[in-house]
């Protein structure tokens, strides 16, 4: 954190600036965001975020270099989500960190989660730009990771999404995309990279090929930027016009199998100071007595669904024995409220967003701020200076 930037921002903040921020976000996406947007960005040194980026990359190397973890991850993919044409690597990787205070008073990062599923690559860049413009912050405050600039970001992320095809022949596939809170990101994705969001029901199959209607004409789908969350697909009982196991003539920008391979399932296989103690529930011979210091998490829920803090014997007894391999018991961490705001010290969760084309590359951070037990909207209702945010980066070298 950069205290001088923090103090100056708080002293000069205005409601007019915040409304300008929201208006700029609405202009960037064509629709206003339907989720809370924090009144403030967060200011970090480049060295700090580089350290987080390096840690996330190290965790991915550990997984890729562990044959047992690879075999177990392959076995964790439900059969209906396997199939040909899978990416050899996860094209999109997210690694989330919270910040804790050590007994010695140091601030250290701790892993919250990692996943191989796309995040807000379009909207997050727009949000960082909007913070700088709305509050007239210096252009010297960067927004990219890995030495990227604006053109390089467009090229790297665009390569992962479009894969060299005509963007009209690439689709962002989602369940009812216009009803998703992530719709602003989908809209920015089309504006920047030309890839349109379509509903799963809009896909038509003819033999091994897929098609959709675009502005009144039938267009071949050659690549799918996959934003369909498997548990939502199952929960809503949606039937796709194809089977993932089919030998289709189509590429995947993020095959659904990676959603399972790199996930909470990966955490027990990791060994790093940033990783909290984590075990699969079914592998525990005896549950810890200090249950308040642990969190029970389902492996494949999205947005924090199903998490139980301080699980009781009754909570665990509700889980059938044959389903316990789909849960982890994790050391509970107390994240430090390190961001000073006019509404009190606030926690921040930092997501390092990567793309993997020729190499795993950090591209931009995504932030969520909160003062509740979790960062989600339900845990921060009625609060201000919380919600989605962006990192503005200062080179302090």
Could you please report the per-residue DSSP string of 99-111? EEE-TTS-EEEEE
- Where in the chain does DSSP place strands (E)? 42-45, 92-101, 107-115, 170-174, 196-199, 204-206, 209-214, 217-221, 223-226, 251-253, 278-280, 294-298, 308-309, 327-331, 347-356, 360-370, 387-389, 391-394
Whether the Cβ atoms of residue 283 and residue 302 lie closer than 8 Å to each other = no
The reported pLDDT for the residue numbered 379 is 58
Residues 327-343, mean pLDDT to the nearest whole number: 92
| For the chain, domain boundaries | 3-276+333-394
Which among 299, 328, 295, 324 is positioned nearest to 312, based on CA atoms?
Answer: 295
Percent of the chain, pLDDT > 70? Answer: 96
Q: CA 266 to CA 275: how far, in whole Å?
A: 11
User: Which range (192-206, 228-242, 290-304, 325-339) has the least confidence?
Assistant: 290-304
Q: How far is CA 241 from the centre of its chain?
A: 27
Task: Please count the helices (runs of H) and the strands (runs of E) in the chain.
Answer: 10, 18
Residues 65-79, mean pLDDT to the nearest whole number: 93
Query: Is residue 352's pLDDT more than 90?
Result: yes
Question: CB within 8 A of 275, min separation 6: which ones?
Answer: 59, 110, 111, 267
Query: Is residue 374's pLDDT more than 70?
Result: no
Whether the Cβ atoms of residue 354 and residue 95 lie closer than 8 Å to each other = yes
Q: How far apart are the first and last CA of the chain?
A: 14
Greater model confidence, 304 or 212: 212
Residues 244-253, mean pLDDT to the nearest whole number: 96
Query: Is residue 135's pLDDT more than 90?
Result: yes
Whether the Cβ atoms of residue 84 and residue 98 lie closer than 8 Å to each other = no
Local confidence band at 354 (pLDDT 50, 70, 90 cut-offs): very high
Query: Is residue 396's pLDDT more than 80?
Result: no
Query: Is residue 179's pLDDT more than 60?
Result: yes
Owner of token pair 């890839």: 195
Residues 268-278, mean pLDDT to the nearest whole number: 94
The reported pLDDT for the residue numbered 300 is 76
pLDDT in tens, 190-248: 999 999 999 999 999 999 999 999 999 999 999 999 999 998 888 899 999 999 999 99
Query: Is residue 377's pLDDT more than 60?
Result: no
Query: Is residue 286's pLDDT more than 90?
Result: no
The reported pLDDT for the residue numbered 105 is 87
Q: CA 292 to CA 332: how far, in whole Å?
A: 8
Local confidence band at 302 (pLDDT 50, 70, 90 cut-offs): low
User: Which range (12-16, 123-127, 234-238, 346-350) has the least confidence?
Assistant: 234-238
Q: Which two tokens stand for residue 289?
A: 């007595």
User: Which range (76-85, 152-161, 175-184, 384-393) has the least confidence?
Assistant: 76-85
Whether the Cβ atoms of residue 372 and residue 115 lie closer than 8 Å to each other = no
The string over 234-256, giving b where at least 16 C-beta atoms fall within 10 Å of a residue's C-beta and e elsewhere, is eeeeeebebebeeebebbbbbbb
- Where in 284-359 does DSSP place strands (E)? 294-298, 308-309, 327-331, 347-356
Owner of token pair 């659904």: 256
Residues 274-301, mean pLDDT to the nearest whole number: 88
Q: Which two tokens stand for residue 84?
A: 């040909």
């Amino acid at each position: 954190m950069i205290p001088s930037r923090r103090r100056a921002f708080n002293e000069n903040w205005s409601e007019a600036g915040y409304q300008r921020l929201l208006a700029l976000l609405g202009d960037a996406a064509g629709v206003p965001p339907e989720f809370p947007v924090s009144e403030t960005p967060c200011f970090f040194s480049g060295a700090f975020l580089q350290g987080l980026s390096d840690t996330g990359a190290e965790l991915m190397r550990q997984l890729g270099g562990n044959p047992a973890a690879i075999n177990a991850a392959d076995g964790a993919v439900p059969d209906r989500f396997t199939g040909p044409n899978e990416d050899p690597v996860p094209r999109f990787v997210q690694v989330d960190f919270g910040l804790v205070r050590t007994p010695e008073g140091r601030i250290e990062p701790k892993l919250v989660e990692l996943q191989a599923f796309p995040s807000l690559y379009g909207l997050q860049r727009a949000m960082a730009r909007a913070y700088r413009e709305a509050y007239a912050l210096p252009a010297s405050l960067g927004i990219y990771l890995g030495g990227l600039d604006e053109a390089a970001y467009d090229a790297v992320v665009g390569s992962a999404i479009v894969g060299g095809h005509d963007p009209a022949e690439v689709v962002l596939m989602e369940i009812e995309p216009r009803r998703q809170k992530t719709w602003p990101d989908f809209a920015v994705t089309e504006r920047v990279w030309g890839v349109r969001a379509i509903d799963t029901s809009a896909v038509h199959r003819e033999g091994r090929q897929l098609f959709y209607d675009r502005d009144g004409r039938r267009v071949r789908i050659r690549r799918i930027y996959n934003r369909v969350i498997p548990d939502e697909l199952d929960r809503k009982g949606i039937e796709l016009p194809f089977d993932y196991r089919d030998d289709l003539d189509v590429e995947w920008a993020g095959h659904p199998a990676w959603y399972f391979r790199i996930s909470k399932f990966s955490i027990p296989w990791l060994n790093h100071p940033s990783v909290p103690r984590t075990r699969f529930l079914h592998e525990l011979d005896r549950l810890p007595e200090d249950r308040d210091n642990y969190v029970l998490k389902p492996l494949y829920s999205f947005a924090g669904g199903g998490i139980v803090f301080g699980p009781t014997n009754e909570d665990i007894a509700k889980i059938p024995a044959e389903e316990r391999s789909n849960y982890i018991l994790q050391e509970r961490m107390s994240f430090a409220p390190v961001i000073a705001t006019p509404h009190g010290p606030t926690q921040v969760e930092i997501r390092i967003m990567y793309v993997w084309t020729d190499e795993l590359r950090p591209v931009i951070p995504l932030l969520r701020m909160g003062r509740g037990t979790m960062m989600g909207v339900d845990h921060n209702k009625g609060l201000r200076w919380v919600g989605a945010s962006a990192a503005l980066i200062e080179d302090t070298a």
